[in-house]
Each structure stands twice: as C-alpha cells, then as structure tokens.
Amino acid sequence: MAEITAALVKQLRERTGAGMMECKKALVESKGDLDGGEVLLRKWGIASAGKKASRSTKQGLIGTYIHAGGQLGVMVEIDCESDFVARTGDFKEMVHDISMHIAATDPRFIRKEDVTQEAIDKERDIQIARAINEGKPPAVAEKMVEGRLNKFYEEICLLEQPFVKEPAMSVGQFVKTRIAKLGENITVARFVRFKVGETTMDMNPAEPGGEEKAADR
C-alpha cells in the first residue's frame, strides 16, 4: 500500500476536481492507487462535482417535511442552476430526502465554515478539559482536540453528517452525487426546523452566488 501523502491527495484532486477529504478517502480505499481512487470517485459520483462548485445557483426549490403526528417539521431551500433541473424528479427527491434528514438529525449549521468562533472555542475548552480529566498531559490534550472537533462538526453541520438514508456517505457527498448526475451545481441555501414547544429564529438568507449559509434556530 502506497503512503497516502498530501501530494498524492492533491494529485488526485487535480485529476478529478473532487474535494480533499473525498480524495483522501478514495486513496485509502484504493490503497494509494491513483487510478483506483479516480474510479471510486467516479462510482461515488463525486469526481466531476468539484468542477461545478463555482457556478452560480439562482434557481431551486423550497421543500418541506412534516413528521408523522405533526409535532416536527422542516423547511429547506436547495438551489441549482436552472429551473429545468429544479423541476426534475431527481432534484425533488433530493430536496425531500434532505428535509427528512434535517428532521431526524437536527443540525445547527450547514457547513463547518459556518460554525461560529464562539461555538468552536466553547467546544475546544470542553474537549481539552475532558482530555485532561482523562489523565492526558496538556500538550497531548491539545493534539487530541482537533480529532474531537472533527466529530463535533460531524454532529452539528448538515453537510458533514452521515446521510440517514446511506450512512456510508455524508450529506455533502450525497449532494455531490446529485451534482454529478444532474450536471449542475447544487447548494443548500438555508433551512429551519420546527418542533412544537421550541422557539425557532428566522432563517438567514443565502449569500450572493449560491454560497450556503448557516440557519440560525
């Protein structure tokens, strides 16, 4: 098995346009083989998605999901490049699936880049204290924090969460498979999750150009 170096990951990324994490995962599964990694990315529908990420998304749909019993509901805006794609069955199904996922997992943000510094600092302090209480020296505790922060992002960020219908991939990877299939850039713009008895704040609008924005709740 070839060593999975940063240079190897970069090489696969340049070949495919896929994200760094997807490239690293593909190389791990292919035991460091570039061609095998590229094949895996294509099978996952990710290889071409990265090349479309800069395209503007001005069309799309607002989808809703109401859980059985009417005590829990979700509204989500997912954008694409054209009204034609927005009307397709595949796009509508994706919007429904992501709405249902949000209902099930209760994410706080869309992307890890949206997580506030206040939330990161608070979690970092918690995890350092936890590691020290486990008997780890402060220097070791500091190194452990990064790994635990990744788990934190996976718990609270929509695109980092394991997709409920297919836990082997993240929601972000699922979106990329739809980008590859439909041939357009797709972004999760905003969402809000309502639960009876809980106070919910207004959704923040998406940034110009289709950038995803965290939904304050």
- Higher-pLDDT residue of 50 and 208 is 50
Q: Most distant CA pair in the chain: distance in Å?
A: 58
Ranges in the chain annotated CATH 1.10.286.20? 116-154
CATH class, 116-154 region: mainly alpha
CATH class, 6-47 region: mainly alpha
Ranges in the chain annotated CATH 1.10.8.10? 6-47
CATH class, 55-113+157-195 region: alpha beta
In this structure, the strands spanning 72-80 and 162-163 are unpaired
Q: What's the rounded Cα separation, in Å, for the pair 110 and 182? A: 22
Lowest mean pLDDT among 14-28, 57-71, 100-114: 14-28
Ranges in the chain annotated CATH 3.30.479.20? 55-113+157-195
pLDDT, residue 201, reads 46
Q: pLDDT above 90 covers what percent of the chain?
A: 43
In this structure, the strands spanning 72-80 and 187-195 are antiparallel
Lowest mean pLDDT among 82-96, 116-130, 187-201: 187-201
pLDDT, residue 23, reads 86
163 sits in which H/E element: strand 162-163
Task: Please name which of 12, 57, 62 lies closest in space to residue 37, comparing C-alpha atoms.
Answer: 12
